[in-house]
Amino acid sequence: MQPLDVDEPVAVGPYRLLGRLGAGGMGRVYLGRSAGGRTVAVKIVHPHFALDEEFRARFRREVAAARRVGGAWTAPVLDADPEAPVPWVATAYAAGPSLAAAVTDTGPLPAHTVRALGAGLAEALTAVHELDLVHRDVKPSNVLLTLDGPLLIDFGIARATDGTASLTSTGVSVGSPGYMAPEQILAQGITGAADVFSLGAVLAYAATGEPPFRGDSSAALLYKVVHEEPELGTLDGELRELVPACLAKDPAARPAPAEVSHRLAPQGAPRLITGGWLPGPLVEQVSRSAVHLLNLDTGETAHSGPVAFDSPSTPSPASGADIPFVPPVAPEQSPSAPATDLNGPPAEAPAAVPEPHDAPRPGRLSVSVSAASAPVAGGRGRRLSCSVALAVAGALAVSALGLGGLLGSWSGQGSSDDNAASSPSRSQAPAPSAGFTGNPQAPDAIPSRYLGTWEGRATALDGNLPIGTFRLTVHPAAVGKDLGHLTQTDQLGGVCTDILTLKKATETRLVATSTGATGNHGGCDPAPHTVELTPTHGDLTYTSDSSAEGNPMAVLSRRTQR
Residue 223 predicted with pLDDT over 90? yes
Q: How many Cβ atoms from other residues are within 10 Å of residue 383's Cβ?
A: 25
When comparing pLDDT for 444 and 330, which is higher?
A: 444
Mark the binding-site residues for ATP, compressed into ranges.
Answer: 43
Question: Model confidence at 175, in pLDDT bands (50, 70, 90)?
Answer: low
Q: Among 104-113, 370-379, 545-554, which is the least confidently predicted range?
A: 370-379
User: Among all residues, which ones are annotated catalytic?
Assistant: 137
Specify whether the CB–CB gap between 232 and 204 falls below 8 A: yes
CA angle 236/242/245 to nearest 5° reads 125
- For the chain, residues classed under CATH 2.40.128.280 are 365-562
CA distance 212 to 345: 77
Q: Say yes or no: domain 11-292 is CATH 2.60.120.280.
A: no
Residue 29 predicted with pLDDT over 70? yes
Residue 125 predicted with pLDDT over 80? yes
Amino acid at 324: P
Amino acid at 44: I
pLDDT at residue 108 in the model: 96
CATH architecture of 365-562: Beta Barrel (2.40)
CA distance 143 to 94: 11
Question: Model confidence at 445, in pLDDT bands (50, 70, 90)?
Answer: confident
| Close Cβ partners of 344 (under 8 Å, ≥ 6 residues apart) | none
Q: What is the mean pLDDT of residues 266-277?
A: 88
Residue 302 predicted with pLDDT over 60? no
CA distance 433 to 350: 37
Specify whether the CB–CB gap between 496 and 525 falls below 8 A: yes
Secondary structure E strands in 73-208: 77-81, 88-92, 143-146, 149-152
Residue 168 predicted with pLDDT over 60? no
Reduced to 3 states (helix: H, G, I; strand: E, B; else coil), residue 237 is coil
CA distance 357 to 305: 8
Residue 430 predicted with pLDDT over 60? no
Residue 391 predicted with pLDDT over 50? no
Q: What is the mean pLDDT of residues 254-271?
A: 94
CA distance 24 to 27: 5
CA distance 410 to 395: 15
- For the chain, residues classed under CATH 1.10.510.10 are 11-292
Question: Model confidence at 54, in pLDDT bands (50, 70, 90)?
Answer: confident
Mark the binding-site residues, compressed into ranges.
Answer: 43
Q: Among 113-122, 189-198, 463-472, which is the least confidently predicted range?
A: 463-472
pLDDT at residue 334 in the model: 40
Question: Model confidence at 538, in pLDDT bands (50, 70, 90)?
Answer: confident
CA distance 413 to 409: 8
